[in-house]
Structure 1
Amino acid sequence: MDKQIFEYAPAPESRAVVDIAPSYGLFIDGEFADAADGKVFKTVSPANEEVLSEVAQAGPADVERAVKAARKAFEKWSALPGAERAKYLFRIARLIQERSRELAVLESLDNGKPIKESRDADLPLVAAHFFYYAGWADKLGHAGLGPDPKPLGVAGQVIPWNFPLLMLAWKIAPALACGNTVVLKPAETTPLSALFFADICRQAGLPKGVVNILTGDGSTGAELVAHPDVNKVAFTGSTEVGKAIARTVAGTDKKLTLELGGKAANIVFDDAPLDQAVEGIVNGIFFNQGHVCCAGSRLLVQESVQDEVLDALKRRMATLRVGDPLDKNTDIGAINSAEQLARIKELAAAGEAEGAERWAPACELPGEGYWFAPTLFTGVTQAHRIAREEIFGPVLSVLTFRTPEEAVAKANNTPYGLSAGIWTEKGSRSLWMAGKLRAGVVWSNTFNKFDPASPFGGYKESGFGREGGRHGLEAYLNV
């Protein structure tokens, strides 16, 4: 009997659920306002390069205004009982749930990620973080951080473009629960969901100045980080920028947390449930187009099952659908920007030039926008650039190992230390490996699983400090 091939009819999500204004100002002291110098920039959809809106570019005067507003609001906000702060966080969480369809479409338009990811992964987690930290707001004395921990003051927060709304939640929710006020700068290529969140803050009745949103490029973030009246800096992004921020903050009394790059190893043993492992490999590297700091971008597979795993993996990759982020059938959306696409292409070319074998399924890419087919490299050694450098795209490097000790040595042979995955049926082996791997998060027989009650963060050049869970409170309290 001939094998049937099912074609998927387009199933686009409606853009009508989100109303994007032609221009947006900065959100300072509870109001939207133009930048002091009138500068603006455009934000585009990476799927087709359509200009979505014009956004204000914050300069030094705007940073000064925002920090001053946050400092003024801090007096009353920090003095509120925790139960009162919790009410605002609960309201924000509920409003996010009510507007989740709108926000998911917005995120996919501005970021390029598939709607099924923004709808089913990002938005539920965003709401969950606000619900979780709302629960902590009146229990800070029971967090194991002292009997009466106090907020730090004004938090300057800089977030990346890969999970714009989720990274906002990771930063703002614990800061507000602890009694701090916030000045947040979203990424230049994905400012819209943060601006919509500003509207949610107004809708929730959040006091003016408690949350301020400054859109702009790297110079805006640098100005915010260096501001002398900022007490806490939180940054998620590249290791290079993280090092620059650490140099800026050095010698000051500012508290700092950094969540930076990664080059995670996804380790598959010969006794692993291979079908399950293949799904975990695909999720680990192709989720969000590989725009994930903890992506499993290095596959370490035991030699005895290498061929079986690769055959199954290639079959699975051939079924992945690349295309319109708003189509509910899409598995892999658009690369976020032309700059990021150029970086991915450059490293993929380096992999071929250094002798690795490149493979990608037959894949028709759209003619407009920024696209890259899911790709894997075999014959990779630890000396290859694609095994050492963070690609931040849908590119998987495959290495092999023979013993658990060799797997640990290869997995740890990286300047990064953010995450790792282990696939084996032996619980003792999984626990032994987890104890040896220098990674902040180690998943066993799964990958990319997150929960607001679980801390997340890295070692070495993946940064320091933890976000999420009880540990995430410490970064925003004077303990």
Structure 2
Amino acid sequence: MSKYSLYIDGDLISSDRYFDVINPATEEIVAQAPYASSAQVDAAIQAAHKAFPSWTKDESSRSVALKLAAEAIRKRSEDIAKLITLEQGRPIHFAIGEVAGAAATLEHYANFDLPPLLPLRSDSEKFVAIERRALGVVAAITPWNVPIILLILKVAPALKAGNTVVIKPSEFTPLSTLLLGEVLNGIFPAGVLNIISGDGEVGAQLSQHHLVKKITFTGSVATGKKLYAGAASDVKRLTLELGGNDAAIVLDDADPKAIAEKIFWGAFWNSGQICFAIKRVYVHERIFPQLLEALIERAKAARVGNGFEKDVELGPITNAIQFEKVKYFVADALKHGAKIHTGGAALAGPGYFYPPTIVTGVGEGVALVDEEQFGPVLPIIPFSDEKDAIRQANASPFGLGASVWTADAQRGLAVVRQLDVGLAWVNQHGDIHPGAPKGGFKWSGLGYEGGLRGYEEFSELQVVNAALN
């Protein structure tokens, strides 16, 4: 049984404890990941703290290192992608795309130039300017659904801004992140980038350490709230990308056949395990039967299976806990009178396979509609009044993303601007512009990732005010 290593202070090191990582397609052990001890967590943070003063001084060296990191990841892209499929379940061609996106993100931030902050006053008597200062040690805590790209979206801007980083991946998908310790070894000075693994106790120690100045986290609302509360005593800076319950509103002038494929992938990509996946669809009653029929036909044709098999479109649910949650949501919907049109039951094992499931007959007050199912189950809900559809879409503590579908893009823009979400799309869902910040309203997040706004999350502003005479 292969065992992976922690990456601390420029060295690959072992641990006294290991835990199994399960392949969700076979329920077999892929390999063992190290459980970082309390001393090792502290060592990683201390190493990052020690490396910070020299790393933060030389921006040109930071850009070079990020470019070299992108090259190193491309050279090992096949190895990284295979691990993603083994531990997370996604089809291999999608995993390859994730790794390519990670390399491109590193290059993007290597070449990222902040607009200059011009002095507020500069004359013979006085100099007043606003300057950016890196924060120090950043804790990056990452999720299991898209383990590498969501990691790099945190690490690349943090490093470019002059911070040092300690990474803690999900215990369900740590292997691809731990492999980065080997892939990137020697590219960054010792201590600049550190990778530890373990469960929530490891994450708690990392996030509560007094030398950690910033936490950047993607994951559940429940964990995000704990991090938010835990950071208060030390007033740590936070970026939280949390859950979503994204609504799609299909207006009466939309073409059901033209949009069904896009809505299907907006909901079911990665077997629905995406924070901003479509999780409920409100359809005008005039076209409800046609769109429902088109979505049923597409869901029945979807190819579900092991991510290494040819032509597979959807892999398994990533872990047993989430698998049971998805089954609960369907069972609860049935108790509330739901009608299941496709799927509706787990596939025969082994593996955590659940087919794309289309559900009608449910609405507000049912868990499948009100909560984040984070799986391949989609409720389709008819409406007759556009204002009521907007109300239903907004009647949620979540506010990550939403989309409006219509033959008139200007009409769609007018509607989507009434939705309380950070990501608003018209006639598409899930497109992320590289220069745009990504964040959520309400329970869906705090702070931003991406774009100038996201980059500035990794620095403080200092006002320098000097009397010259």
- TM-score relative to the length of structure 2: 0.93
Aligned to 1:436, the other structure's residue is in SS state coil
Instruction: Name the amino acid aligned to 1:78.
Output: T
- Residue 23 of structure 1 pairs with residue 3 of structure 2: yes
The aligned residue for residue 34 of structure 1 is 14
Partner Cα distance (1:54, 1:34) in 2? 11
Instruction: Name the amino acid aligned to 2:457.
Output: A
When residues 354 and 338 of structure 1 are mapped into structure 2, their CA distance, relative to the original with a 3 A threshold, is: same
The aligned residue for residue 196 of structure 2 is 214
Q: Which has the higher strand share?
A: 2
Instruction: Name the amino acid aligned to 1:22.
Output: S
The aligned residue for residue 56 of structure 2 is 78
Contact 1:125 1:451 in 2 (8 A): no
Partner Cα distance (1:32, 1:468) in 2? 30
Aligned to 2:217, the other structure's residue is in SS state strand
Q: How many residues align?
A: 452
- Residue 166 of structure 1 pairs with residue 149 of structure 2: yes
The aligned residue for residue 185 of structure 2 is 202
Instruction: Name the amino acid aligned to 1:193.
Output: S
Contact 1:66 1:212 in 2 (8 A): yes
- Residue 43 of structure 1 pairs with residue 21 of structure 2: yes
Match of 1:117 among 86, 94, 98: 94
Instruction: Name the amino acid aligned to 1:75.
Output: P
Partner Cα distance (2:417, 2:340) in 1? 33
When residues 338 and 371 of structure 1 are mapped into structure 2, their CA distance, relative to the original with a 3 A threshold, is: same
Per-residue deviation, 1:375: 0.6
Partner Cα distance (1:463, 1:59) in 2? 30
Match of 2:85 among 77, 92, 108: 108
Partner Cα distance (1:201, 1:149) in 2? 27
Per-residue deviation, 1:123: 2.0
Contact 2:6 2:181 in 1 (8 A): no
Per-residue deviation, 1:153: 0.2
Partner Cα distance (1:59, 1:105) in 2? 28
Match of 1:139 among 114, 134, 137: 114
The aligned residue for residue 38 of structure 2 is 60
Task: Deviation per CA, 1:321-350: give whole Å up to 9, x if none.
Answer: 011111241111011111110111111100
Task: Deviation per CA, 1:438-476: give whole Å up to 9, x if none.
Answer: 111011111121233221110111111110111111210
When residues 29 and 258 of structure 1 are mapped into structure 2, their CA distance, relative to the original with a 3 A threshold, is: same
Per-residue deviation, 1:59: 2.6
Task: Write out aligned runs for 1:427-446 (5 A).
Answer: 427-446=409-428
Partner Cα distance (2:52, 2:219) in 1? 27
- Residue 400 of structure 1 pairs with residue 382 of structure 2: yes
Instruction: Structure 2: state its 5+ residue gaps.
Output: 120-128, 462-469
Instruction: Structure 1: state its 5+ residue gaps.
Output: 1-20
Aligned to 2:374, the other structure's residue is in SS state coil
When residues 40 and 73 of structure 1 are mapped into structure 2, their CA distance, relative to the original with a 3 A threshold, is: same
Aligned to 2:286, the other structure's residue is in SS state helix
Instruction: Name the amino acid aligned to 1:94.
Output: E
Partner Cα distance (1:100, 1:452) in 2? 21
- Residue 155 of structure 1 pairs with residue 111 of structure 2: no
When residues 143 and 58 of structure 1 are mapped into structure 2, their CA distance, relative to the original with a 3 A threshold, is: farther
The aligned residue for residue 16 of structure 1 is none
Aligned to 2:245, the other structure's residue is in SS state coil
Per-residue deviation, 1:280: 1.7
The aligned residue for residue 64 of structure 2 is 87
Partner Cα distance (2:409, 2:115) in 1? 35
**Superposition CA RMSD, Å:** 1.8
The aligned residue for residue 127 of structure 1 is 103
When residues 53 and 143 of structure 1 are mapped into structure 2, their CA distance, relative to the original with a 3 A threshold, is: farther
The aligned residue for residue 417 of structure 1 is 399
Bigger CA drift: 272-281 or 259-268? 272-281
Instruction: Name the amino acid aligned to 1:70.
Output: A
Contact 2:409 2:427 in 1 (8 A): no
Contact 2:244 2:398 in 1 (8 A): yes
Aligned to 1:119, the other structure's residue is in SS state helix
Contact 1:323 1:365 in 2 (8 A): no
Bigger CA drift: 90-99 or 167-176? 90-99
The aligned residue for residue 122 of structure 2 is none
Per-residue deviation, 1:353: 0.6
The aligned residue for residue 348 of structure 1 is 330
Match of 1:240 among 206, 222, 229: 222
When residues 142 and 369 of structure 1 are mapped into structure 2, their CA distance, relative to the original with a 3 A threshold, is: farther
Q: Percent identity?
A: 38
Aligned to 1:304, the other structure's residue is in SS state coil
Instruction: Name the amino acid aligned to 1:103.
Output: I
Contact 1:140 1:178 in 2 (8 A): no
Match of 1:311 among 264, 270, 293: 293
Instruction: Name the amino acid aligned to 2:61.
Output: E
Per-residue deviation, 1:309: 0.3
Instruction: Name the amino acid aligned to 2:134.
Output: P
Bigger CA drift: 372-381 or 182-191? 372-381
Match of 2:320 among 330, 333, 338: 338
